[in-house]
């Protein structure tokens, strides 16, 4: 499976309802098998989730390092939040917990950061300098901020306040679905959010990702920003690919 000069890394992307995973070739970001998924264990307490991740790692690429994207603020392997996951993860050393189970190096990072890493290395942000923002629109709004290709981890810009509410309560893909907004109505809310992002960060490029990006042709032309806007390229695999790249140790 392994190519000369490349590592095979298990990339795992944990969500509230499903866990996506694949073996990834670190030098190219290529999936060595199609992206697969399993339901996220419920209620998903710490040991239950770690056991599931360990089983995936052992069967996907035995003996390989493991990268895990988590919908959490993660610092030095410790989860400080747990969006749509069990609260038992908060304050847990998830890296040590999983590493003890698999006996291989493990890296955990925020899921939007992982998607951003993948897009910067092999996707819409490849080769772009300056300030680049990755925004993922899904259940909430995830964000990843890069300065000349280097990640500033754990930004939580979905919680910027707009009209007295967290931005993600108004402009996430879930908000569009729950309020039955058409693309034009939803895009106006996203434009308010993009204007706020621009006032605070003045990005050169904003990459639009998350599940909603599959419909970029329907809403992309309606978006407005002084920054260049691009649709993410790696789709559903971005989180797993970015997690694998973070675990490879090859990032700047």
The predicted-structure confidence for 69-93, as pLDDT tens digits, reads as follows 999 999 999 999 999 899 999 999 9
Mean pLDDT confidence for 37-57: 97
Question: In angstroms, rounded to a whole number, what is the distance separating the alpha carbons of residues 147 and 70?
Answer: 22
Question: In angstroms, rounded to a whole number, what is the distance separating the alpha carbons of residues 102 and 116?
Answer: 26
Query: For the structural domain made of 8-113+237-248, what CATH number should be given?
Result: 3.30.420.40
Q: Are 234 and 126 in contact (CB under 8 A)?
A: no
pLDDT exceeds 60 at position 34: yes
pLDDT exceeds 70 at position 60: yes
Query: For the structural domain made of 127-232, what CATH number should be given?
Result: 3.30.420.40
pLDDT exceeds 80 at position 3: no
Q: Counting beta carbons within 10 angstroms of the beta carbon of residue 76, is it exposed (0 to 12), middle (13 to 18) or buried (19 or more)? A: exposed
16-18-19 Cα angle (round to 5): 105
Looking at the chain, the domain(s) classified CATH 3.30.420.40 span 8-113+237-248, 127-232
If pLDDT is split at 50, 70 and 90, which confidence band does 1 have? very low
Mean pLDDT confidence for 1-30: 86
Structure tokens at 178: 């729950």
The DSSP line for 200-231 is: HH--SEEEEESGGGGGHHHHGGG---SSEEEE
pLDDT attached to residue 252: 56
pLDDT attached to residue 6: 79
Q: Counting beta carbons within 10 angstroms of the beta carbon of residue 42, is it exposed (0 to 12), middle (13 to 18) or buried (19 or more)? A: exposed
* Percent of the chain whose pLDDT exceeds 70: 97
pLDDT exceeds 50 at position 180: yes
Mean pLDDT confidence for 27-44: 96
pLDDT exceeds 80 at position 5: no
E-state strands within 40-180: 66-70, 74-75, 78-79, 106-110, 131-137, 141-147, 150-152, 161-162, 165-166
185-209 tens-digit pLDDT: 999 999 999 999 999 999 999 999 9
111-133 tens-digit pLDDT: 999 999 999 999 999 999 999 99
pLDDT attached to residue 249: 85
210-236 tens-digit pLDDT: 999 999 999 999 999 999 999 999 999
pLDDT attached to residue 251: 67
pLDDT attached to residue 172: 96
Structure tokens at 93: 């050393």
């Amino acid at each position: 499976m392994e190519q000369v000069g490349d590592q095979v890394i298990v990339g795992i992307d944990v969500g509230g309802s499903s866990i996506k995973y694949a073996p990834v070739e670190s030098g190219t970001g290529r999936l060595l098998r199609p992206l697969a998924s399993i339901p996220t264990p419920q209620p998903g307490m710490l040991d239950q989730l770690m056991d599931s991740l360990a089983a995936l790692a052992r069967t996907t690429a035995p003996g390989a390092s493991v990268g895990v994207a988590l919908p959490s603020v993660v610092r030095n392997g410790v989860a400080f939040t747990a969006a749509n996951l069990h609260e038992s993860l908060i304050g847990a050393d998830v890296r040590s917990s999983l590493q003890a189970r698999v006996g291989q190096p493990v890296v955990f990072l925020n899921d939007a950061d992982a998607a951003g890493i993948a897009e910067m290395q092999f996707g819409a942000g490849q080769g772009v300098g300056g300030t680049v923002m990755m925004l993922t629109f899904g259940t909430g709004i995830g964000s990843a901020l890069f300065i000349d290709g280097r990640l500033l981890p754990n930004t939580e810009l979905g919680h910027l306040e707009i009209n007295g509410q967290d931005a993600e309560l108004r402009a996430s893909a879930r908000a569009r679905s729950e309020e039955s907004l058409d693309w034009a109505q939803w895009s106006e809310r996203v434009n308010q959010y993009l204007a706020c992002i621009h006032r605070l960060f003045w990005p050169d490029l904003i990459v639009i990702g998350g599940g909603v990006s599959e419909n970029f042709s329907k809403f992309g032309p309606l978006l407005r920003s002084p920054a260049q806007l691009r649709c993410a390229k790696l789709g559903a695999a971005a989180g797993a690919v970015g997690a694998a790249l973070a675990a490879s140790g090859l990032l700047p």
